[in-house]
Chains A and B, each alone.
Chain A
């Protein structure tokens, strides 16, 4: 069975641009979670989607947004990129709050 997939694996942007990251959950999972992991730090919770709705949001500014599609895949959008947005962005999926399984991540570098 395929795991959680994320694209792209790496993304390079300049300050002020927008970034779009994508996540496909494990088949059958309806929940998608997004986390940010800056270099050397722990995972910080960003967003949680379930059944197409945003269920919870971490302590991040509104320029971090996302959505979940009818097929349960998800996008994370980061507007007006800042240097400190450089991080590994991780997506996880689960069956309605069950154990979360993580994807390989997207490494975003903002120059």
Chain B
């Protein structure tokens, strides 16, 4: 699976837009990019997934350039409750057979939102 690199931590003030960039230089043709959010002592929560260009949902936007070697998670107008660890993962959305390797979580980006 493609290895990902993200900043270890980021700080932001409430109400600002936060962009977290993830590098995945070895992304494969059939790989998708998925972002999860995790609060302390809770399971990760799926945020958004994309393959190319731009994906938007009610929580965030995901920007993927044409070469797909990086992606940016954009959180509009963050609040204190957005303080969490954000994980970027790259892998085939469909695993399907016993030969495939499940998702690999890195250390993520710890986002701290300040009032």
Interface residues of A (CB under 8 A from B): 4, 31, 33, 35, 41-45, 48, 53, 55-56, 88, 90-92, 96-105, 107
Contacts and interface: CB of A to CB of B under 8 A. Distances in A.
A92 B49 contact: no
A45 B103 contact: yes
The SS class assigned to the B binding surface is loop
Interface string B91-114: 011111110111111111000000
29 contacts: A4-B43, A35-B105, A42-B87, A42-B105, A42-B106, A42-B107, A42-B108, A43-B44, A43-B87, A45-B102, A48-B95, A48-B102, A55-B95, A55-B97, A56-B98, A56-B101, A88-B41, A98-B93, A98-B94, A99-B34, A99-B46, A99-B93, A100-B103, A102-B36, A102-B43, A102-B44, A102-B45, A105-B41, A105-B43
Q: Most chain-A CB neighbours within 10 Å: which of B43, B44, B94, B96?
A: B43
The SS class assigned to the A binding surface is strand
A72 B108 CA distance: 30
